[in-house]
A and B are shown apart, each in its own frame.
Chain A
């Protein structure tokens, strides 16, 4: 009888979430799958065109591969740099120094600023005529750069900007570092291991699940980059910062090609799943879980 009651409560408690997920996630995804087979500008009757949207994506749309390239370029450069920087910062912030709380706050602070605001701020920093970066370059006698206006520089500029807000990742790493048992580090030290040995043979393996988590989240976030190029460059110059999701957004809302935009969205879902699967597969060889046999 008691079990019965618990079961009822279980159902009651998960109903809001399940209903929400069904209504706001599963249903729209289902609609997206169907709409990706239609030609639809949102103001006329949708027209069924089979797989034409997908064929156009792969063979007709000259910006599809460009946006895939931009997406991968951004993700593959920003994610490793973010992880390395965040890990190094976490190591530094894990030391015992006076006023550590202040340092931790300072490094976390940028993550609290809304992305629109930080993006607007960086547009000032990157400004060609009166931006801080060009002022610094010019003060040491170097020519200023067209940070966001040069097709070759725009992605590096966006990647550099993304490093500013690694605070979230740092906090997660920091929590991980603090949960490493002191005995292990002491044991390593007693056996004559130096700092490098501790880092490479104790900290890195112990941290690997957390690195893995941040890697996966970073990749998914990187693949979906939208706000920064939307606000700063609108994909320009010359489509050099046209990320995949920005391309999708323009198809849907600027050019009213809703059917095609849905096809693009589903393709992103598939690609994200594929990449995640590869990363998960690879994790077996480098991620160590406590109590794991390997």
Chain B
């Protein structure tokens, strides 16, 4: 028995000697990220490919799912114990605050040296005081999905795909009304319609903070001024856009569950499943939903977002950073560059999860075909979404206290608006007043 233990110990010792010997010259990087199982698998593959292309560098994947609070707690613990990763995803809501505290490597010299800036969409790089602190991991946008069969059955024309010639809001509401049916076959605009017994809804519009921007911007409103010093929530244009979204359920009765922002996913059936079941015609959400849709079996269509006053689009995504604590900044940058090159992580793009940040993948036909020419991307996607990135604006995560302002001041008022307990005017004016009084809007990072 004792001999066995001794033998095992000596074996272990020998193995560790070998290990240090073999990998002595190796540079070891860590890459921290999160995401769905598909994203996890594709990321791991991309890291393996990176290792194969760069002998002498090994990358340890650190899969770290969880809420923003959990991510922050973990990161702070890593920071205290000097075990921060080299490269990785970062929560967009707090990236600027961490950058201001010197957590990230200034990428400007690397990007200048490699001449990368012009190759990427203008919104891609995040800057603070003239320094590039990180890059959006992907480009994501808002998309209007629909179940083609339901539209054809109801005799509703398929929506236009050119983002500049989309339906007006009223037109869209008209069609959504036609597509909302109760169990007696009546529509919301007919006498005897029973809103409690609806078998098919016209639309579901996500209403968490990011998803509100296109409607607000498209109506000429905004949430904050560009310098992050003024609240514009109570502008009539903003109020009107929000009231229109609330009315989808309250007045037009074409939308099902109230999309309560804080916990929408938890209380209701996934709209994608409703669409598959033929219980929901339209769904307005993020471009990443394509990944899940591609695994479902119904004729999916993509149309241009309805226009309030002018076409609008949102650029939203997680962020990638290189940590200043990295002992191998050059190699870390190499890895970051690899992850930013869509050829290297193509499955994430062609599968529908991400839209690329590389400009040529939008403009160049060959590059565009690499991610768009596949069953996961319906026909109209190019015209309705990809082209609309020309008018896309970034979610203003560079505003100080951004997350707290939404969570503590705006969303609680909006909850009551979606439920019909107060109008958008009352709610947004109250939120704006509270934000001003609290003095929490303190400019940009």
Contact = CB atoms under 8 A, between A and B. Distances in A.
A44 B434 CA distance: 28
A42 B78 CA distance: 12
B227 interface: no
Given A43-B79, A237-B416, A250 B411 contact: no
A233 B262 contact: yes
B76 A43 contact: yes
Given A254-B407, A256-B94, A234 B262 contact: yes
A80 to B, nearest CB: 29
Interface residues of B, number: 38
Interface stretch (A46-54, A127-135, A163-171): A127-135
B411 A236 contact: yes
A234 B69 CA distance: 12
Given A143-B196, A236-B411, A62 B262 contact: no
Contacts of A232: 263, 266
Nearest to A130: B269
Contacts of A143: 196
Contacts of B76: 42-43
B412 A238 contact: yes
Contacts of B261: 236
A41 interface: yes
Given A234-B263, A236-B415, A151 B421 contact: yes
A249 B437 CA distance: 23
Contact residues of B: prevailing secondary structure: helix
Contacts, number: 88
Given A129-B257, A237-B416, A149 B403 contact: no
A30 to B, nearest CB: 19
A255 interface: yes
Contact of B268 (A63, A128, A233): A128
B72 A253 contact: yes
B69 A254 contact: yes
A250 B69 contact: yes
Interface in B393-415: 401, 403-404, 407-408, 411-413, 415
Contact of A62 (B101, B196, B263, B434): B434
Contacts of A255: 401, 403-404, 407
A91 interface: no
B98 A43 contact: yes
A151 B268 contact: no
A129 B94 contact: no
B419 A254 contact: no
B21 interface: no
Contacts of B421: 151, 238
Contacts of B262: 233-237
A182 B355 CA distance: 77
Contacts of A149: 258, 260, 267, 419
Interface string A247-285: 001100111100000000000000000000000000000
Contact of A237 (B94, B101, B415, B434): B415
Contacts of A130: 269
Nearest to A61: B438
A42 B94 CA distance: 13
B267 A151 contact: no
Given A239-B408, A255-B403, 7 more contacts: A43-B98, A238-B412, A239-B412, A253-B69, A253-B70, A254-B407, A256-B97
Interface of A: 41-44, 60, 62-63, 123, 127-130, 143, 146, 148-151, 232-239, 249-250, 253-256
List the 9 closest A-B pairs by CB distance, nearest first.
A253-B69, A236-B262, A237-B415, A238-B415, A238-B412, A254-B69, A255-B404, A43-B101, A239-B412
22 contacts: A43-B76, A43-B97, A62-B437, A63-B408, A128-B267, A128-B268, A129-B269, A130-B269, A151-B416, A151-B419, A151-B421, A232-B266, A233-B262, A236-B262, A236-B263, A236-B412, A238-B412, A238-B413, A238-B416, A239-B408, A250-B407, A254-B69
